[in-house]
Amino acid sequence: MQCWFTENQSPDLRISCRVKKVLHQERSEFQEIAVYDTGQYGRLLALDDVIMTTDRDEFVYHEMMAHVPLVTHPNPKRVLVIGGGDGGVVREVIKHPVEEVHLCEIDGRVIEVCKEYFPAISAGYKDPRVRIHVADGIEFVRQRKGQFDVIIVDSTDPVGPAEGLFREEFYRSVSKALAPEGLFVGQTESPFFNGDLIKSIHEGLNRIFPVVRLYLANIPTYPGGLWSISMGSKQADPLSADLKRAEGLKTRYYSAEVHRGCFALPLFVKQLISPGTPRA
Ligand code: SPD
């Protein structure tokens, strides 16, 4: 009998893939954690039945979450990753000459499961610059002032424990936790299915940060494929970043060319964040 993993992407849409083997299933204090060996995507990590990452396309998301902010900041030394317990963003961050990378993940079981089933994604945990905090990211950020050059919010969707990571109040704490030249990025969901959320996040970010940008990446296993990442920066603008540092990185998706191109937004996305944009 064939076995399928199905993600309910919206009340009217499901995406499925064939499962060759269920490798792991458990209920942690926070969520249902599952790892499947799939026919199409290699290993797949699901939290509460939502796809977080897969062997096949993880590099797109993790590279874009890490390298766009780290190349934009003129000299990033102290980096904080909130969420991201699989370790994929950390693995990309340590490709830069940073001094410290702090990972704050609320669910320690995600870290342990990923170390066991996704060794290539979680490989960065072995780097001596990485410090792991199993804690609530909202509280963690609230207690830090002016400490980080770059903060990366690699959250789950805005339901359950991650809901607060999409609120203006949280972005204000992020701004306070950043050094004077600091900047942050957060994953901000699908422009097709979460337009209202993206719009309200950007209204909030514009009230907090002098530079606010949105960029896109293609992630086949996320709803709609087209995924948004938002940036709030105190000074540096990704559109005028020195892209020489992008050239030496060992990546598969991100490049200087992609850095420039990912800020070119389709009209319907531009209209979400700049309501005055004229229609074609
Ligand atoms: N719809 C799923 C969005 C999940 C974003 N975070 C994934 C974590 C990968 N490191």
pLDDT in tens, 193-228: 999 999 999 999 999 999 999 999 999 999 999 999
Owner of token pair 């998706």: 253
Pick the closest to residue 181 from 119, 140, 113, 234 (CA basis). Answer: 234
86 is catalytic: no
Q: What is the percentage of the chain residues whose pLDDT exceeds 90? A: 93
Question: Do the Cβ atoms of 188 and 230 come closer than 8 Å?
Answer: yes
Name the residue at shortest CA distance from atom 5 of ligand 1: 156
| pLDDT tens by residue, 110-132 | 999 999 999 999 999 999 999 99
What is the CA(243)–ligand 1 centre distance, in A? 26
Name the residue at shortest CA distance from atom 8 of ligand 1: 52
Output the pLDDT for position 15. Answer: 86
Ligand 1 pocket check for 229: Cβ under 6 Å = no
Output the pLDDT for position 279. Answer: 58
Ligand 1 pocket check for 222: Cβ under 6 Å = yes
Judge whether residue 152 has pLDDT over 80.
Answer: yes
> What's the alpha-carbon Rg for the chain, to the nearest Å?
18
What is the CA(59)–ligand 1 centre distance, in A? 12
Question: Do the Cβ atoms of 145 and 174 come closer than 8 Å?
Answer: no
Name the residue at shortest CA distance from atom 10 of ligand 1: 84
Judge whether residue 161 has pLDDT over 90.
Answer: no
Higher pLDDT among residues 275 and 199, named by residue: 199
Residues 6+ apart with CB under 8 A from 240: none
Tokens of 252: 């598969």
Residue-range domains of the chain with CATH? 3-54 (2.30.140.10), 58-273 (3.40.50.150)
